Each structure stands twice: as C-alpha cells, then as structure tokens.
Structure 1
C-alpha cells in the first residue's frame, strides 16, 4: 500500500533545488572545471543572453520555434498515416500479413540511420528533419492503434455490420472510439521519440533549430551554450509530454465513464 505524503509538488521542487544546489556547489568548489561543466548560474546567464542576442543567426526562442514547427510537421504526418494504418491492420488480417514483415524490419532501424538520406534528398530544407521525425514517430502510432483495434469487442463490429454499416463507418464509429485510449497513449510515446529524432537530425542537416545551437556552441567552445540548448530541449519535451498526458487523462476518463 502506498503511503500518502500529501501534495507532491513541494517534493518535486525540493528535488530540483537539491539537484541544482549540489551542481552549483561542485562547480563553485572547483571540483570540476567551468569549461567541462558550467554552473547553473552560468547557464542561466547564457540563456538570458541568447534570448536577447542572436546566436547562429537567430534568437534562442526563434531556434526553438523552428525546431517545434519541424517536430509538428513530422509528428502530424506520422499520426495521420500511422493511426489509420494501425486500425486497418487490426481490422483486416490480410493487410496485417502484408504489412507486418516490412514494418517489423523498418521499426528496428534507428531514426538517425535515415539522416544521411535526409541530407542527400532534402539538403538543409525542412523536408529532411520532417523525414527523420516521421521515422521515429511512425512506429508507435501504428502499433498502439493496431493494439487498440484488436481490443475492440467483435460483437460491436458485428452489430454495426448487421445494421448495414460500411467499413469506413465501422472504422469511424466503432474502431476509432474503442481504440482511442491506446491511440492517445501511443501518440505520447510517438511524440517523445519524434522530438528526440528531431534533435539528432538538427545536429547534421539544418541551419537553424535548437539542435543546431548545440552544434554551433560546441564549435565555438561554449559549453554554457550547449548546456542551455540541452535544458531547452528538455523543457520543450516536458511541455509536449504534459499536454499529451493531459489529453490522455481526459480521453481515458471520458472513455471509462461510458
């Protein structure tokens, strides 16, 4: 039985204060060189500087916006293609048998393995990062939609067929609502993998974005810039996950309340 510690947010704040306090103390005591590990105060100062002074051609928030738009494009494409494909694979055994061998081989190829082709096919344009994000986000969309469709009770499909519903209507009014909790959970996983894939792509095939800031920070021997970019990556990823967790909780509450 879990013990009740009351509200959790004070413990989260305490954990953050402890973490950054130890980090600052280690650097201030000279146990680690500032060049190897900049202190939290240096990172904060660098963050403020990057918000007001262009670095690698843009302000920090402009780099973040550029990265997020690439992420949104690749993630949306993965969801629009992956979710219907997963639902149809769960509905039709023949389609599952046709797609599964190719899909299983594809999903074990790391998204970053596609970076050379992204650079070759799209150069430094937006198409390359979107392609890499898509490869990272696509598989969870398919898998979770497929699993959700398989969990839909057969009698619901048979009842819809008895009332003359076609396959499109069955997919829209039976499979999709029944698989929705699994789909939303898959989108959360997909978003995390897509965001990680984007940063990897931006290390190589773009001329803007938060990953590009990391590359330029390394080239300019500025560890505080690299660390700033890392924290921004984590914060944006946390924000994306928070939104999707909220959506997932609402969907599950509504679905279980029926």
Structure 2
C-alpha cells in the first residue's frame, strides 16, 4: 500500500512539473507570436533549442559549446575543491578550539558579507584573464557556506564522544578526522550543496569579465553581437550543469544521512 502511495505521489509530482514546463513554454510562444517582445530579443523556444544544438558542434568565439562548458566546469572544480579543502578543516578546528574560533572568526566575518561578484575587479587586477581570477571569485562564493555548515555540524557533536577520544589519547588532528568529521558529514554535504550553487553562479559572473573562454564568456560575445539565441543557449547550459551538480550532491547527502543512521 505504501509503495502504491509513493508511486502515485511521484506520478502526481511529474504531472505538475510537466504542466508547469508546458505552461511556461506556451506563454513564451504567445509572447513572441503576439509580438509583445521584439523577436530579436526573444526568439521562439524551438529557435533557441536549434541554436543550442548547433553550438554543440559549431564553434562560437573560438570554441564549441562543449569546450566552453568544459572550460567553465574546470574553473568551477578548482575553486569549489579549494573551498572544500580549506573550509572543512577550518570549520572543524573552530568547533574544537575556542582559540582558533576567536582567531578566525573576525577575519571570516569581515569577508563573508562581500558579494562574490565584488571580487571580480580585484581578481581582474591580480590575474587578468587567466584562470586564477575566476577561481578566486568562485572560492569566495563557495567558501563561507562550507565553513559555516561544517562548524555548525561539528559544534553539535555530543561532547562525550570527544571526551572518550581524549581519554584514549587522541590529539586534535585525530579528534577532527575520526570524531568530528564523520559526525558532521550530513551538515558538511548540505553546506557543499549551497557552496556549489553559489560557486557556479559566481563563476558565470567572473567569466563575464575575466575570462577568454567559458559559458559566461560565450554569452558576453553573444550579447555584443545581439544574438539572443546564443545568450539563452548559454543560460540553458548553465542551468542544466547547475542542476546536475545539485542532483549529484543531493544523492550524496541522502547517502550520508542513511549511512549515519546505520
């Protein structure tokens, strides 16, 4: 009976999602057909889809869409991994040591409210159009959620586990690696989901200014030549890649929660 209910709920969810997509596309067609928006600035959906497919094999601004996506994803991967490699240990250390917390918090609080896009001029001055600029912008977008969620997950770990580990002779590194980290995994992955979204959005902002390839760069070139279908193709690519990243991290989050319950 429960399986049937789950099947019905899933079917209902798919139905409503399909209706929402169909309504959006129908409204889009209606706006173009009635000439509510000039076609130069809002082409038909099938024209955008055709251009998207065309860009997969035909170069624009020197590269195909696949190459632009690969370039963007490489920058994102570097910035996101750097944020995770620094943010997770720092969050665990802040939860374990009040001195580390007091030392790191003032600096962290002073930079986390600076919007990632505000780092773009600074990144351009330092790195020009090289890979370092986008990585810095992505890092500044992805770093705060990783650190905050790691800290919040670790600070709520039952103190008796830490006391037991200390009685067995565990030092700070082992406490972080073998007690705090495993207990904080669900919170850490939740933070990584937020970080991935912010990092991916930050990447596109960085590529609008400090890149010579990538989806954001392609969109700028499309805008400069008033090719709305290319700009919208880039938006579709950004949305699809972002959705894929979130789905993968969502599955990792479910696995981590299931593993912790076992």
- TM normalised by structure 2 equals 0.94
Provide the residue aligned with 1:198 in structure 2.
203
Alpha-carbon shift at residue 30 of structure 1 (Å): 2.1
Provide the residue aligned with 2:259 in structure 1.
254
Provide the residue aligned with 2:121 in structure 1.
116
Provide the residue aligned with 2:58 in structure 1.
53
Alpha-carbon shift at residue 122 of structure 1 (Å): 1.0
Alpha-carbon shift at residue 6 of structure 1 (Å): 2.2
Task: Indicate the larger mover: 45-54 or 232-241.
Answer: 45-54
Aligned match of 1:103 in 105, 108, 112?
108
Provide the residue aligned with 2:241 in structure 1.
236
Looking at structure 1, the residues matched to 83 and 152 of structure 2 have their Cα atoms a distance apart, in angstroms, of: 17
Provide the residue aligned with 1:89 in structure 2.
94
Provide the residue aligned with 1:142 in structure 2.
147
Counterpart check, 1:67 vs 2:72: yes
1:97 alignment partner, SS class: helix
Looking at structure 2, the residues matched to 179 and 48 of structure 1 have their Cα atoms a distance apart, in angstroms, of: 42
Provide the residue aligned with 1:188 in structure 2.
193
Alpha-carbon shift at residue 256 of structure 1 (Å): 2.0
Deviations 1:139-169 (A, max 9, x none): 0111011001101000000000111112111
Aligned match of 1:153 in 137, 158, 173?
158
Counterpart check, 1:6 vs 2:9: yes
Alpha-carbon shift at residue 9 of structure 1 (Å): 2.0
* Superposed CA RMSD: 1.3
Deviations 1:63-102 (A, max 9, x none): 0010001000000000000000001001101111111111
2:59 alignment partner, SS class: coil
Alpha-carbon shift at residue 105 of structure 1 (Å): 1.1
Looking at structure 1, the residues matched to 44 and 37 of structure 2 have their Cα atoms a distance apart, in angstroms, of: 10
5+ residue gaps, structure 1: none
- TM normalised by structure 1 equals 0.96
5+ residue gaps, structure 2: none
Looking at structure 2, the residues matched to 28 and 228 of structure 1 have their Cα atoms a distance apart, in angstroms, of: 20
Provide the residue aligned with 1:176 in structure 2.
181
Looking at structure 2, the residues matched to 203 and 188 of structure 1 have their Cα atoms a distance apart, in angstroms, of: 23
Alpha-carbon shift at residue 111 of structure 1 (Å): 0.8
Looking at structure 2, the residues matched to 51 and 176 of structure 1 have their Cα atoms a distance apart, in angstroms, of: 41
Alpha-carbon shift at residue 174 of structure 1 (Å): 0.4
Counterpart check, 1:80 vs 2:80: no
1:6 alignment partner, SS class: helix
